[in-house]
Copies of this chain bind each other. A is one copy, B any other.
């Protein structure tokens, strides 16, 4: 199979999102209509899908339920993934309570902290453990993904601990470019950068 751009994967995810949102109202949809909802080019939508197979009927379009099913499978959302949340600050607590994650099969199984006041308690019925115990607990809970929501100063060191415990998939909310070997996939969510992007255009409006 040809190498698939990471942007394609992100778009597939947005197609799925849009399909969820219309699934109550529509049974079938054409690439043209779906692309319009998403504000993109229908050719791109079809091209993205074509990397993975044929999902529509010529002259008709796509069955919404079928395409949802196919996309979930392509994206690995037909499985359950176990997640470790690192950092139980404001953002960590919000992420922990966020329904969107569990609905998609991402389950937060354990929380890591270094604040003695938080360690040993539970949050949302999830154990809050000391950073020190990461290694063993990653195995115990069969964690595949780590979510980083700690202060900037702690992030790099913690990321290395996580890497050494065997984790290779990280969702990073810390405004810092984390340095790990290239076999580790890191997706960065830089919220301030998004605002900054708005700021740039605001200043030139």
Chain A interface residues (CB < 8 Å from chain B): 6, 9-10, 12-14, 16-18, 21, 37-39, 74-77, 79, 81, 90-91, 93-95, 97-98, 100-101, 104-106, 144-145, 152, 168-171, 175-177, 179, 185, 187, 189-205
**Helix, strand, loop or mixed for chain A's interface?**
helix
Which single residue of chain B is at the shortest CB-CB distance from A106?
A: B195
Is A17 a contact partner of B104 (Cβ separation < 8 A)? no
Q: Which residues of B contact A38 (CB under 8 A)?
A: 177
The copy count of this chain in the complex is 2
Which single residue of chain B is at the shortest CB-CB distance from A144?
A: B202
Which single residue of chain B is at the shortest CB-CB distance from A83?
A: B195
Is A189 a contact partner of B191 (Cβ separation < 8 A)? yes
Is A194 a contact partner of B190 (Cβ separation < 8 A)? no
